[in-house]
Chain A
Amino acid sequence: MVARKSPRAGSDSAQGSRHWLYGLLCGVVLIAATPSALLAGLLLMPTVMAAVADRQPGRPIARAVLLFGLAGSCTPLNMLWRAGHGMDDAIAIGSDLHSIALAWVFQAGGWLLTQVVPMIIGLFAEAQDTLTLSRMRHRQQTLADEWDQGS
């Protein structure tokens, strides 16, 4: 008798494979480009924390923080690559508080956006709903006044 695999089991298996693939990729990057990986790890520390803290499906907060973190890390990484991509350069750039602060501020901004933008949109939507509800109540009253018998 052959046991049928459930779809959920298939999905977990694919996710596990993807994790392995990411791990392998990270390992390759770490071995092939250790200075960049070191600097990026330092610069993207808040992203790692956000990825750990964000439990939503698809990790939308971590994704935004990552995108902003990458934006803030472009200049230091560029400097590293232009300086020759050495371990010393990586340590030197990583020791520069200005670069670190800029990258982390970007990531903080990204996190802030994920909190503020939904709030603003929610406020707009609520205002629109309130207006619609008011219109409906008014229409209902009008109908009741006009067709007060049998309707």
Chain B
Amino acid sequence: MSQARTTPATETATEPALIAGAYAVNLSEPLADAGGGLPAFTVHDHRNRRLDLMAVRCAPGAPPRSVSLSTLAGAKFDNMLLPLAHGGGPLPAGGRAYYVITPKPLGTPLAPAAGGQLPPWRESDIINDVLRPGAVALDQLAASGVTHRGIRLSNLFHSGPGHPVTLGCAWAGPPALLQPGIFEPPYSAQCHPAGRGEGSIADDVYALGVILVILAIGRIPMQDLDPQAQIRLKLERGSFAALVGDCRLPSSIAEIARNMLAEDPEHRPPPVLLANPAAARARRVASRPPQRAARPIDIGDLSAWDARTLGFALARAPDQGRHMLQGASVERWLRRMLGDPVMATRIEDLLRAQAADPVADPQLANPQLISTAIATLDPLAPLCWQGVTLFPDGIGPLLAHIGAVPPPDRGNLLAAMASAIESEAASHWGQARPEHCDPAVLRLDTRMHRMLLRIPGWSGGIARLCYSLNPLLPCRSPLVADACVVRLHELLPAMERRAAESNDIAIDQDIAAFIAARFNGRMDSDLAVLADREDPDIDPPGHRGLAQLRVLTRLAADNATMAWPALSRSALHSARPALAQWRSRTTRTARAEALETACSRGALSAMLAVLEDPHARETDTLAAQHAQAERRAIAAEMAGNPNRVASRAIASRNTGQEIAAAIGVATLAVAAVLAAVS
């Protein structure tokens, strides 16, 4: 039985819509705190009549994790809210949003209520109720190749002592989007929340380690520090020391947590080991403490004492950092103050390589220098490009997030992302830290991203890339934004409804990018036409309208049994000029009538067939050519008429005279005979 707190409905209920043909979201019964930071509602299961389900609503610009949802479909893991289904559902104020259906959590979140205190847990409770079940769940996830990335106090549910915690829903948004920085390793906490990427199971182990520390000390550490200061503290002192501070932990918890909070994810114990705390305690990983300089180097408002903090400082103040890099201050500090000549030489090589490329665009070369320098100083650090910090697999979610950002910031973020993709920043970043990633895979991904970005017209660019990297991102076109169109077969019904409201609608840039991404480029040529302004000197009449009709027809093929009267009317308006491509007036008239008939039936494919009949078009063209030749021949013949009048007079005279001669011969013969007879 669910013990999740139910609050009074603050939102107006709307008619339930079935998700996956079975689940109706009941907006009148919101579940407070059950969604781990996202709105959650009770669900009516029309198929199995289950009462223990909830729907977690995705935030705009934060699409759910498609790979995790598909991997975990049908999975049965312990101690975790697994996704059962997902799809569009109603919104209180009208329109639709995307929901992920999971079981309701048992118990309440570990996070204290507002103004409340978090009591310290007993060591045995931490081990038995949190560590073991959490490790078992993470081990099952690791076996599936999926990460959780949502382990935080507000997303762990506990129904009382002796009961295992349940890992909440982490599938209804980009990985680690809602994670407070304290629960993330420094390299992930530095990232833009939407750009943290899938991470690894070691990052989940880290988050679980933070939970252990918090429960053991009975408070959330570093709450008085801003997120940047938290990261800096973790980098300088190490995560475990930064989190524990002066508090004393039970020795068993301290040993396990120290391992779980290791800076290098390779050094953290795997979940299977954590399921056996005794073995986890016995594990010793020899990790070298960071080398500390004799004197700090100041970049921006940060004084860096070690290489990783220096990398963080460069990411925060890239302009000043670049000047210091190019002025050799950083190299000197590394060599003299930190005593790391190897790293100093690598930085020197970077600068030399940049200087050796005089034709490089400074707009790209400078961020490239910063990015590579950071990766050299701290191989665990994320990619930093023009102030935007992310992991390469976070590009998709970050692009989706940028789409929901208000305009002034959106432009800057988009420009930075476009620049990063265009210059293949992720590939260069990967090459600078090959021991922590697969540079070949990164290069392939980067090339693909750049290729999509460079596709001209509406079927390419940032929008196409965004939809390609976010398979569950709803189409953002103002025409269908309210309908939460995620899959292609949902697009046409939404457009039909919109067309019924406003008579004339057309495929816009967002819809085109959405279609291009979901069709995986198979309609790029037609979609590219839609972006062009029709040039009557080059393009045949109705060129755009015909391309649009072709796209709509292809979409309608997935909904073959339905008619689209409103869309057909709208398409007719733009496609009718294409009739002029038929040369014969009779054919045009007949096809115009057929077009109207098909339109009245709402048959898009029939409309296209009327306008685009290759065999008939070929016949029409040939007939037109013949007609043209015939007209030329007639004109030439008529132009030669005066000459023919003269020749006709001569011919008439000659023929007449010949006839007269012939009559004369006949007369002579008759006369001769008569004379002879008489």
- Give residues in A with beta carbon < 8 Å to B: 60-61, 63-64, 66-68, 70-72, 74-75, 77-78, 106, 110, 113-114, 116-122, 125-126, 129, 133, 136-137, 139-140, 143-151
CB within 8 A of A110: which of B644, B653, B658, B664? B664
Within 8 A of A (CB), among B617-666: 623-624, 627-628, 630-631, 634-635, 637-638, 641, 644-645, 648-649, 651-661, 663-665
Q: Which residues of chain B come closer than 8 Å to A113, judged between CB atoms?
A: 659-660, 663-664
B144 nearest CB across to chain A (Å): 63
Residues of B within 8 A of A74 (CB): 668, 671-672, 674-675
Known: A114-B656, A122-B649. 12 other contacts (CB 8 A): A60-B658, A60-B661, A61-B657, A71-B671, A71-B672, A74-B674, A75-B671, A116-B656, A136-B634, A140-B631, A143-B634, A147-B624
CB distance from B199 to the nearest CB of A (A): 63
Determine if B586 is an interface residue (Cβ-Cβ < 8 Å). Answer: yes
Which A residues are in CB contact (< 8 Å) with B520?
A: none
Q: How far is the CA of A147 from the CA of B583 in the complex (A)?
A: 6
Contacts of B502 in A (CB 8 A): none
A133 and B657 contacting across the interface, CB-CB below 8 Å: no
Q: Please tell me if B303 contacts chain A, counting CB pairs below 8 Å.
A: no
Contacts of B359 in A (CB 8 A): none
B1 is an interface residue with CB less than 8 A from chain A: no
In the complex, the answer to whether B664 meets A68 with C-beta atoms within 8 Å is yes
- Complex: how many Å from CA A120 to CA B658? 13
Chain B, Cβ-Cβ closest to A151: B628
**B580 interfacial contact with A, CB 8 Å:** yes
A125 touches B667 (CB 8 A): no
Alpha-carbon distance between A63 and B661 when the two chains are bound, in angstroms: 7
Q: Mark B52-70, 1 if CB is under 8 A from A, else 0.
A: 0000000000000000000
Closest chain-B Cβ to A122's Cβ sits at a distance in Å of 4
Residues in A whose Cβ lies below 8 Å from that of B634? 136, 139-140, 143
Q: Are B652 and A118 in contact (CB under 8 A)?
A: yes
B670 and chain A: residue at smallest CB distance: A71
Contact between B657 and A75, CB atoms less than 8 A apart: no
For the complex formed, measure the closest distance between the CB of A142 and the CB atoms of chain B, giving whole angstroms.
9
CB distance from A100 to the nearest CB of B (A): 16
CA distance A140 to B635 in the complex (A): 8
Selected A-B contacts with CB under 8 Å, 29 pairs: A60-B657, A64-B664, A68-B667, A70-B668, A70-B671, A71-B667, A74-B668, A75-B671, A77-B675, A78-B675, A106-B667, A110-B660, A113-B660, A117-B655, A117-B656, A119-B652, A121-B659, A122-B652, A122-B656, A125-B648, A125-B651, A136-B634, A139-B630, A140-B638, A143-B627, A146-B584, A147-B623, A147-B624, A149-B580
Minimum CB–CB distance from B676 to chain A (whole Å) comes to 7
Q: Is the CB–CB distance between B678 and A75 below 8 Å? A: yes
* Bound Cα distance A60, B219 (Å): 136
Interface residues on chain B, size class? 35 or more
CB <8 Å contact, B585 and A117: no
Which A residues are CB-close (under 8 A) to B670?
A: 71
**In the bound complex, CA of A119 to CA of B627 (Å):** 38
> CB distance A71 to B631 under 8 Å?
no
Which residues of chain B are within 8 angstroms of A148 by Cβ–Cβ distance?
585
Provide the residues of chain B in CB contact with A114, threshold 8 Å: 656-657, 660
Query: How far is A142 from B655 in the complex, measured between Cα atoms in Å?
Result: 36
From A71, A122, A125, contact of B668 by CB (8 A): A71
Shortest distance in angstroms between B626's beta carbon and chain A's nearest beta carbon? 9
What's the least CB distance linking B659 to chain A, in Å? 5
Which of B631, B637, B638, B645 is A151 in contact with, Cβ under 8 Å? B631
Report A-chain residues with C-beta under 8 Å of the C-beta of B655.
Answer: 117-118, 121
Q: Judging by beta carbons under 8 Å apart, are B659 and A71 in contact? A: no
Cβ-neighbour of A129 out of B630, B648, B675 (below 8 A) = B648
A67-B664, A74-B672, A75-B675 known; A125 vs B652 contact (CB < 8 Å): yes
**Contact with B652, one of A121, A136, A137, A145 (Cβ below 8 angstroms):** A121
Task: Select from chain B the residue with minimum beta-carbon distance to A119.
Answer: B656
CA distance A70 to B627 in the complex (A): 58
